[in-house]
Amino acid sequence: MKILYLSVNMENYSSASYQQDLINSLSKKCKLIFWGPGHPGCDVKFNLDNIKTKFSINKDDTIIVGHSWLSDIPLSDNVNLKNYYKWIDNKIINKNSLEYCGELNFFEHPGPKIFLMNKEYVSLEEKLDFAKKNNFDYIITSNTDYKKYEK
């Protein structure tokens, strides 16, 4: 089984060790393929079909959208954007967008789709709308108030 894991390259990310633990566990059980800003060969102009073709992802393979696929930058004009994701070339991400890694229509993938949300509250409503719009099968969070957001 193949899993396409979409996130920014987390090598220089100092938080969210649980995400690296998940990556380590999954890599022992299946073929894990990474795509997103900071990963070799990433082209944010690709649509989901381009990415799936590039990696031979079929309808039964799983797509995981890591929490870093969506912005943790407050969507505000008053934010100093240069402080966020300094290690990623600013020319390939849109720091003023919730989906700064490129907008993909995940709902088009018929196979399993998992969305990892962190427990932070930055743009929470927008992230929940993203999950609903893209028809994810599972949303995984470490937020202890998840029942509050379940609907």
pLDDT digits (tens, 9 = 90+) for 28-56: 988 989 888 878 888 878 999 999 999 99
44 or 25: whose pLDDT is higher?
Answer: 25
Domain ranges of the chain: 2-149
pLDDT of residue 100: 78
pLDDT of residue 16: 60
The 3 state secondary structure assigned to the chain is CEEEEECCCCCCCCCCHHHHHHHHHHHHHCEEEEECCCCCCCCCCCCHHHHHHHCCCCCCCEEEECHHHCCCCCCCCCCCHHHCCCCCCCCCCCCCCCCCCCCCCHHHCCCCEEEEECCCCCCHHHHHHHHHHCCCCEEEECCCCHHHHCC
Model pLDDT, residue 1: 77
Span 2-149 CATH architecture:
3-Layer(aba) Sandwich (3.40)
Q: What's the rounded mean pLDDT across residues 53-67?
A: 93
pTM summary value:
0.84
